Amino acid sequence: MSSPATHPPSHPLLVAMAHAHAELDTVADQPLWSLTKEEAALALLEETRLNARLAALTLKTAVQAERTEVGAAQGATSAAAWLAHETHMTSRDAAALTKLGKALEAHPPVEDALSRGDVLADQAKVIVEAVDALPDDVGTAIRTQARDHLLGEAEHFDAIRLRVLGKQVLDVVAPEVGEAEEARQLEAQERQARAKARFTMHDDGHGTTYGRFSMPTHEADKLRKPLQALASPKAGGEGSTPHGMGLAFIEYVDRYPVDKLPKAAGMDATVVVTMTLETLMGGLKAAQLDTGTRISPSLARTMACEAGVIPVVLGGRSQVLDVGRRRRFHTKAQRIAMAVRDGGCIALGCDRPSAWCHAHHLDPWSQGGDTSVERGAMLCPRHHTLIHHPGYGVTHHEGGKVSFHKRE
């Protein structure tokens, strides 16, 4: 980074900068091995204070550069854009200088503290942001008290802790206002957090699924606490490492009580494992979940013994699947059997999973149809509506699939 060619400096600021450069040149190449422990500590403290004082000058200069349209002659869109180009600073950081400089102008005591080196630039930024974030109906006297309180706290806390104190400053200077404002802020944060709730999972095709989620922190605490308990070495876990927490999450999923799960398509939101009788008895043929995931035979046999997993053994007679005319609605066992067989909605081109589908009578119950697996099928709500709509006809295809067409 080179200095722009200018006339000899005349403004006191430029003269001081020239002197500072000259002084620094005298020590820039000096080895520091001879510094004692006490001298090194003092040097660090003084250098930090000088950095803060220089930051105050930089912020003031950035504001003046914006007002005088520095860089306009070169076609720069702003003084910040010019500075970013000339110094290779990021555009974001350059713009932040002007923004913070203008904010400090509205808070002279904070600006003065930074100029003296009593606070650091990041502390000054936190203080003005906290004061500016106070409710509009807070009076000038309370704002002044809040600012002065945070300036005092800056002698003891860094910017991160100061930001927390800034959010709670009304509790100190105006408790009656602070309680109401904190409640308002928390309610707003909770609404926003719930609105931003997301959960995604991605199968890499090699047996591992990756996930990302966002949720309200108070809800995340409900997940974090049991996972930490399961990951605790006292509970046989591997500690709160990423791997240990991952194993704890697996155990947490496995332990979730099935009777607490909601109903989906008339049956519990449980995992269905489809396997041959040979696999169940010790064979090597892979099994498959109703989600389409294929698993090893040993894992399938393990899952078949666990709560919350229903083994569907092809060729077995573990449950009655045809109840004829004794009841109108399909049983849970029948729904599971149809879900495994159909793999979701039977309409051609529909990708709705079984959990989203209704159990449909291929032979209408009202016309004497039986409630059975053989004459039942899974249809999503949209196609279940269409199949009963008089304006649509249905074509049955091999493999149990159906398609729809509008009647003339």
pLDDT tens track, the chain, 408 positions: 655 555 666 889 888 888 888 999 998 888 989 999 999 999 999 999 999 999 999 999 999 999 999 988 888 889 999 999 999 999 999 999 999 999 999 999 999 999 999 999 999 999 999 999 888 878 889 899 999 999 999 999 999 999 989 988 887 888 777 666 666 666 777 788 888 989 998 988 888 989 999 988 777 877 887 888 888 876 677 777 889 888 888 888 877 766 665 554 444 445 566 666 666 666 666 676 666 666 676 666 666 555 444 555 554 444 444 444 445 577 777 887 788 788 888 998 888 777 778 888 887 766 667 778 888 888 888 888 888 787 888 898 888 899 988 887
Q: Where are the domains of the chain?
A: 42-191, 214-255, 260-314, 332-406
What integer pLDDT is reported at residue 309 of this predicted model? 46
Distance, in Å, from the CA atom of 362 to the CA atom of 380, rounded to the nearest integer, reads 14
> What is the SS3 assignment for 346?
coil
* Partners of 203 in the β-ladder: 209
Distance, in Å, from the CA atom of 313 to the CA atom of 273, rounded to the nearest integer, reads 8
What integer pLDDT is reported at residue 173 of this predicted model? 83
What integer pLDDT is reported at residue 266 of this predicted model? 46
Distance, in Å, from the CA atom of 289 to the CA atom of 266, rounded to the nearest integer, reads 18
Nearest CA to 393 out of 382, 404, 408, 380 is that of 404
Distance, in Å, from the CA atom of 267 to the CA atom of 355, rounded to the nearest integer, reads 8
Distance, in Å, from the CA atom of 115 to the CA atom of 397, rounded to the nearest integer, reads 81
What is the helix (H) or strand (E) element at residue 119, kind and residue range? none
Give the model confidence (pLDDT) of 29-57 as tens digits. 889 899 999 999 999 999 999 999 999 99
What integer pLDDT is reported at residue 164 of this predicted model? 87
Architecture field, domain 332-406: Orthogonal Bundle (1.10)
Nearest CA to 69 out of 92, 98, 45 is that of 98
Give the model confidence (pLDDT) of 233-271 as tens digits. 766 777 778 898 888 888 888 777 666 655 544 444 455
What are the tokens at 279?
């696999």
> What is the SS3 assignment for 206?
coil
Q: What is the DSSP letter of 366?
A: G
Number of H helices, E strands in the chain: 16, 12
